[in-house]
Structure formats: C-alpha cells, structure tokens
Amino acid sequence: MRKVQIQKKTAKDLRKEKEIKKARKVVERFSRDKDFRFLHDQISQVFGDHLVSDLKSFIARKVFPRDFYPEYDGVEDAHYAYRVRDRLRKEVLVPLRQALELPEIYMSAKKWNSLPYPRVASIAMSNYKKHFLKHDETRFNEFLSKVESGEEKIAAGALFPHDIIKRLNDGENDGGRVAELQWKRMVDDLSEKGKLQNCIAVCDVSGSMSGEPMEVCVALGLLLSELSEHPWNGQKVTGNLDKDKMIKKVFIFSDMEFDTARGGYGYYRQQAASGWDTDYEVIKRKFEERGYTVPQIVFWNLRDSKATPVTSNQKGVALVSGFSKNAMKLFLEDEDVPDPVSVMRFALSGPEYQQLAVID
C-alpha cells in the first residue's frame, strides 16, 4: 500500500514538473517571438469575445427562464437565446442606463439641453466632447467654466495619463481645455494620497520609444514632476549638486530591456540579473566616490518585456511595468523602496485583492 502511494505521488510530481516546463517554454517563447505573441493575443481575443457573448446569454436566461415565461415553450434554443438577450437589453439595460443618466440616452434622444455634464464619465467626456460643443456649446462651456472655478468637478478616474496628453491637440476650442481640466483632476486626486519627496524622473526619448511608449513616458514623467514636493517639482538636474540636495529616488521610464541592452539573455535566465548586479555596484561605487548616497531606483518598463534588471531581493530597487497612474500610488503611500518583492507584496495588499482566493 505504501509503495503504491509513493508511486502515485512520484507520477503526480513528474506530471506537474512536465506541465511547469511546458508553461515556462510558452512564456519564454511569448517574450521573444513576435509572431507567436501575435497569434496568442488573437486567439485570446476570440476566446474572450465568445466568453462575453456566452455571459450575456447566461444572464438573459437567468432573468427570463423558460419555466416562468410560457411564451418560450417549444422555441428552439438558438432563437430563445436571441429573444431573451434582446429582451434583456430593452427591459433591463435601457432602463438601467436611464437611471444612471448615461450621456448616450440624452444624445440618442437629441435632448442635449438636458444632459447632466457632471455625471459624464471620464472616457465618455473625452470621446464625446466634440459632440457636446457642436450641439450644446453654451451649456458645455458653462460647465467647463464651473469646473475651472471649482463649482463643479470633471471625471478623470478611468483615463491613463497619456490618454489625456494625447487630447491636448484635439482642436482649438475643446480638446486642450477638457484635457487640461482632466489632468488637473487626476493630479489633485493623486495628491490627496500624498506627495513624492526628493524624486526625479529619467525619461527615455530615444528612437526606439516612438509610438505609444513615448507618449506614456512623457506623460508619466510630467505626472511625477507635478506630484513631487518643492523644490523638485518641475525641475531638472544639471550636475554638481550639494550632498544635502542629492535626489533620494530616481524613476526610470523606458522601453529598454536592461539586461538585453548589456548582453543578457532575457526571461528565465539568471545571467541578466547577475550581470546587472555588477553594474549596480559600479553605480553605487561612483556615487560613494563623490560623497553621495546611491538613490533608490524605480525601473518602470513601458514595453511587454519580461526582462529583470535586478534580483528580487536587491535593496533600494523596485520594478514596475504598465501605463497606469495607479502604480504611482505605491510610492505616494510609502516613501521607501525596500526591494522588488516587498513592493509587489505591498501592491497586492490592497483591499481590491482581499476577496480573491488562491487555488493550487
């Protein structure tokens, strides 16, 4: 009996190890093979679209089950699914949108003079502002003036910083004004969480950053500058700083795979981290030779790279990726950058993750 149990456990462990190897192989190929990544993303999109469609049908069937609605007796399943989805839209979703006062309700009914601008969500405001100016210019400009004076508020919560920056040139009369107000709202909301102390951004604007990464890089750099306390807000460094004025924290916004740029091997390769350790020690030594303390460094990756420029326990370093301003909150709420793992744990300690269950 004991022997059988051992054999089963051994077989289970071997299967698990085999699955892990397959997963690592897929992740490694995903990180280096653009064609494979494109195929993976397209298939994932198709799969996701079908899940959304199935979810809509599932909800509609729950709201209008056959057992309680005899008009669906004998109706083929495909026709039943179509009818209840359409009924869900007309009898549930449309009244719900009306109750929420969504702008589309007023726009489709051409009731522009009744549209409640303070209730317009951030993305809708950004997308529809030209229509608001075209059909309801006076009221919309009055709303913007009230936002400028502080009487009203404009939504900005769902927008990325670079989404707002891109809108600055959306025409002479609308894009710039709305974008400026949404940017101010975003900065004000983040400032309530705290201010960045002794921080400065290093923005990579090299040729490889062309496109969206460049927009994100500039936007996050501007945002960091506005969230920084005096004297670092809106400033740059030219060199020869006094010791007591040396920056304590540096944010590096870049698309660069730090290990690849210095000859490393990418994801799941230890050479990259160990190679950067040497460079990090060189940086540290150069700071100390000039009488400075090496600053804390936040590497903010703006590509889908899996590169790891430092080891997970490197003190005074954080690894961040993505376009979201919400990641900046991590450093508003906590002044220190302990190490990559600690920063990750702090990010996962938020209340939004507490309802999740891990099933192994």
Write the pLDDT tens digit of every residue in 188-220.
999 888 888 888 888 888 887 878 888 899 999
Produce one character per residue of 40-59: b if its CB has 16 or more CB atoms within 10 Å, e if not: eeeeeeeeeeeeeeeeebee
Tell me the C-alpha distance between 171 and 176, whole Å: 7
| Sheet with 199-203: strands ordered across | 199-203, 249-254, 296-301, 317-321
| Residues 149 and 212 reside in one and the same domain | no
| Residues 236 and 288 reside in one and the same domain | yes
| Residues 111 and 66 reside in one and the same domain | no
Q: Flag whether 11 is in a domain.
A: no
Between 315 and 1, whose confidence is greater? 315
| Residues 280 and 240 reside in one and the same domain | yes
Tell me which DSSP letter residue 246 carries: -
Tell me the C-alpha distance between 13 and 25, whole Å: 18
User: Residues 234, 199: contact at Cβ < 8 Å?
Assistant: no
Q: Flag whether 358 is in a domain.
A: no
Q: How does residue 175 score in pLDDT terms, banded at 50, 70 and 90? A: low
| Residues 274 and 142 reside in one and the same domain | no
Q: Flag whether 7 is in a domain.
A: no
| Residues 108 and 79 reside in one and the same domain | no
Q: How does residue 260 score in pLDDT terms, banded at 50, 70 and 90? A: very low
Q: Flag whether 73 is in a domain.
A: yes
| Residues 80 and 110 reside in one and the same domain | no
Q: Flag whether 15 is in a domain.
A: no
Q: Which domain holds residue 53?
A: 41-99
Longest dimension (CA), the chain: 85
What mean pLDDT is predicted for residues 345-359?
A: 79
Among 102-111, 173-182, 293-302, 311-320, which stretch is predicted with the lowest mean pLDDT?
Answer: 311-320
| Residues 204 and 265 reside in one and the same domain | yes
Number of folded domains that form the chain: 3
Domain stop point among 52, 68, 99: 99
Checking if the pLDDT of 270 tops 60, the result is no
